């Protein structure tokens, strides 16, 4: 076998410890690429209590320092754009972050004899790659997973004007849903030749139907974040309506975020504290248990880039409900692999909950069809192989 292709993966989001959910799909992708004679080397931001270099699951990970421990808060919080745009000091801190990112990337390129660069998320990785392109002739590919394109369409169209000449030099740009593909093409139709929809691989060794776990026909689960995009308030309102007709229903919400206190207040106001419980985010092994216990899993999100909670729960055999918005429509085919409801419509979401909770045959049929679809669509090795082929094609 020829020597492995050395791939430098630039990301602001990568697991920091065993069981961490931050960018966990990138960790799986990196591990799987080794099967196809590609050696991934990760460059990600440092965070307090982390090592600056280590190997996890056979993958080299470099973490760049960009501030003192207490001030390394730009990454891993899920609110990078708000931190950066919230103050003048935030903008300066982000510039220092980008400079450190680029400096460390150049050092690793030389040290590891890198063959190709792959960035994940247009911001910040794309910004770093644009600068690197002036200093290295290495081919570059980019992957977008949702937030970067959604925010760019809403706030940062001027940013694409800054990046467009660089983007047109990319060998490939993968996006995880057709919704994101359309969003990119709306910014620049010339990118059609390099764009490809490619979902991130799912870990079927973790997410599967576990016959040792009993499914609770009255349990509804939401794995989400407490942000405006996720519309958790609408989910709570829908559940309140549904529970008026089916008193046995209960809702477990797993997540964190800036609107959690507002959601807790809403639950209390509606008198649902004995029916709705909020839990912190879970590691993947525990998520499998929750998905296998759930009868229904809901993602009530606006313009979701993909909808990982839905595809993971489908692999675990749960019936799913999602909004007719964003990348969710790539995962759910209405009335065939799950149910789609209009965005911001608690009444329609309540109707969908009641349909599935009161019709065992429909719920089981949709769950079975969803499991079949997810198993055939999101297997890790075929998706990693396609990504590996993109890398190899970029080197030709």
- Over residues 187-220, the pLDDT tens digits come to 899 999 999 999 989 999 999 999 999 999 999 9
Percent of the chain residues past pLDDT 90, beyond the cut: 82
How much is the average pLDDT of 234-245?
98
Residue 203 DSSP SS3: coil
What is the spatial distance between Cα 158 and Cα 64, in angstroms, rounded to a whole number?
Answer: 28
- pLDDT value at residue 346: 98
- pLDDT value at residue 64: 97
- pLDDT value at residue 81: 67
pTM (2 d.p.): 0.91
- pLDDT value at residue 157: 66
How much is the average pLDDT of 350-369?
98
Q: What is the CATH class of 5-201+379-394? A: alpha beta
Cα 390 to Cα 116, 166, 197, 345, distances in angstroms: 11, 18, 12, 40
What is the spatial distance between Cα 301 and Cα 257, in angstroms, rounded to a whole number?
Answer: 14
Instruction: Break the chain into its structural domains and give their ranges.
Output: 5-201+379-394, 219-377
Assess whether the region 5-201+379-394 and the region 219-377 belong to the same CATH fold.
yes
| Residues 242 and 353 sit within 8 Å (Cβ to Cβ) | yes
Give, in degrees to the nearest 5, the angle at Cα 172 between 169 and 174. 135
- pLDDT value at residue 20: 84
- pLDDT value at residue 301: 95
| Beta carbons within 8 Å of 56's beta carbon, 6+ residues apart | 15, 18, 27
- pLDDT value at residue 281: 92
Q: How many residues can be counted in the chain?
A: 396
Q: Worst-scoring range by mean pLDDT, 34-38, 234-238, 283-287, 333-337?
A: 283-287
Strands 59-64 and 53-56: antiparallel
Q: What is the pLDDT of residues 151-161, one digit of tens each?
A: 666 665 677 88
Architecture of the domain spanning 219-377: 3-Layer(aba) Sandwich (3.40)
């Amino acid at each position: 076998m020829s020597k492995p292709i050395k791939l430098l993966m630039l990301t602001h989001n990568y697991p920091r410890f065993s069981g961490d959910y931050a960018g966990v799909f990138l960790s799986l992708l990196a591990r799987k690429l080794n099967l196809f004679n590609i050696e991934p080397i990760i460059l990600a931001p440092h965070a307090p209590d982390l090592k600056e270099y280590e190997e996890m699951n056979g993958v080299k990970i470099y973490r760049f320092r960009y501030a003192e421990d207490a001030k390394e808060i730009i990454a891993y919080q899920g609110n990078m754009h708000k931190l950066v745009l919230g103050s003048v000091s935030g903008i300066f801190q982000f510039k220092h972050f980008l400079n450190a990112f680029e400096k460390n990337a150049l050092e690793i390129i030389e040290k590891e004899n890198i063959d190709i660069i792959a960035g994940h998320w247009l911001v910040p990785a794309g910004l770093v790659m644009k600068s690197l392109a002036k200093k290295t002739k290495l081919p570059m590919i980019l992957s977008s997973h949702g937030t970067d394109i959604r925010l760019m369409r809403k706030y940062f169209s001027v940013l694409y004007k800054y990046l467009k000449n660089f983007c047109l030099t990319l060998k490939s740009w993968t996006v995880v849903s057709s919704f994101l593909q359309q969003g990119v093409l709306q910014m620049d139709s010339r990118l059609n030749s390099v764009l490809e929809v490619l979902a991130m691989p799912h870990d079927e060794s973790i997410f599967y139907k576990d016959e040792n776990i009993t499914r609770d026909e009255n349990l509804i689960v939401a794995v989400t974040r407490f942000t405006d995009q996720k519309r958790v308030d609408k989910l709570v309102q829908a559940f309140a309506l549904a529970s008026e007709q089916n008193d046995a229903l209960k809702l477990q919400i797993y997540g964190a975020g800036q609107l959690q206190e507002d959601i807790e207040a809403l639950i209390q106001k509606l008198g649902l504290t004995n029916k709705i419980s909020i839990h912190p985010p879970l590691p993947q092994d525990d998520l499998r248990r929750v998905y296998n216990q759930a009868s229904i899993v809901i993602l009530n999100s606006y313009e979701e880039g993909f909808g990982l909670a839905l595809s993971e729960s489908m692999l675990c055999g749960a019936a799913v409900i999602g909004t007719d918005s964003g990348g969710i429509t790539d995962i759910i085919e209405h009335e065939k692999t799950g149910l789609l409801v209009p965005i911001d419509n608690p009444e329609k979401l309540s109707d969908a909950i009641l349909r599935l909770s009161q019709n065992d045959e429909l719920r089981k049929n949709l769950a079975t069809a969803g499991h079949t679809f997810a198993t055939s669509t999101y297997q890790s090795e075929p998706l990693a192989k396609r990504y590996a082929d993109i890398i190899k094609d970029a080197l030709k």
